[in-house]
Amino acid sequence: MTQESELALLLDEPTPTSKLQSLKDIFAGTIGGVAQVLVGQPFDTTKVRLQSSSNPNTSPIDIIKSLLKNEGPLAFYKGTLLPLIGIGACVSIQFSVNESMKRIFTYYNDGPNKMNSLQFFIAGGAGGFANGFLAGPIEHVRIRLQIQTKSKSNINNNLLYNGPFSVLKHMYSIGGLNTIFRGLGPTLIRESFGIGIYFMTFEALVQNTMQKYNIKRKQVESWKLCTFGGLAGYAMWICCYPIDVIKSKMQTDTLGNWKFKNSIHVVKSILNSPIGWRGFFVGFTPTILRAAPANAATFVAFEWTMRLLD
């Protein structure tokens, strides 16, 4: 067996259910989430700065130059601590719920490798919906940290927030849990639909490869898994990016002095802006550039961890 085929994708393998299986799913998902954050954080910071910019003509290059000049390269990793823990937990929820749903469908389908695309979409969507309740406040905290600025040349320009717990305390003092969970609605829609598309796309590519070459799932090469993970990330963001913009607009709004009442208000504001419907795709370039490496890293980290645990 080659080194590439050693990286077996275990999602569809018929394994006996054990008390440790869910713990394995959760732990492997956490490792995948950590890899996703480390690879994708600089792209995400650039995206958030674009989405919150008051100048519709700002480009990703402008944001990158400004960050490097005024705040230094470490600014790309602003707000990383909480996502490193939280997104790891979110991805672990995605994978563990998806795995549980797949085992249920496998049982009702009377055997493995008989799931259809709709079932893969439902399994992934369930995982996305479950993690949305955690992803919403985590992303809100991360965004608040990402959009605060401090000039390197002005050491007296103190930041409002010293870290994620400082953000949580400030938001809670302003509006309690309602403020912390602001943007939860579009987050749940994005996660349910987007993660459903995400896993459905990945599974369709894997199943097609298995059928085309008449091989088992564990024989799918690692480079193909990376490619499929990247393409799944593309499919997810292409389908749900406008929803992410709506969420980010709500979560970058002025605390306590809200410009936007709800998601519908955000939609109307974007459509009435000088750039119109194009406002729904502000920051799309860094997001789509992030999709391939971040999601490839997620799947590879998940699979290697699962293989080591087994």
Is position 249 within any domain? no
Q: How far apart are CA 69 and CA 63, in angstroms?
A: 10
pLDDT at 272: 93
Is position 305 within any domain? yes
Q: How far apart are CA 207 and CA 199, in angstroms?
A: 12
- pLDDT above 90 covers a percentage of the chain that reads 31
Q: How far apart are CA 81 and CA 284, in angstroms?
A: 24
Is position 276 within any domain? no
Domain with 211 in it? 3-242+284-309
Domains in the chain, number: 1
Q: pLDDT digit string (tens) for 258-310?
A: 999 899 999 999 999 888 998 899 888 888 888 888 888 888 888 778 777 76
Q: pLDDT digit string (tens) for 121-171?
A: 999 999 999 999 999 998 899 888 878 765 444 444 556 788 788 999 999
Q: pLDDT digit string (tens) for 8-53?
A: 344 444 444 556 777 888 888 888 878 887 787 777 778 777 777 7
Is position 261 within any domain? no
Is position 188 within any domain? yes
CB neighbours (10 Å) of residue 173? Answer: 11
Q: pLDDT digit string (tens) for 204-250?
A: 898 889 889 998 777 778 888 889 999 999 999 999 999 999 999 99
b/e for 77-86, b at 16 or more Cβ within 10 A? bbbbbbbbbb
Under 8 Å between Cβ of 298 and 61: no
Domain with 154 in it: what CATH number?
1.50.40
Is position 34 within any domain? yes
Is position 266 within any domain? no
Q: How far apart are CA 126 and CA 284, in angstroms?
A: 25
**Higher per-residue pLDDT: 193 or 226:** 193
Length of the chain: 310
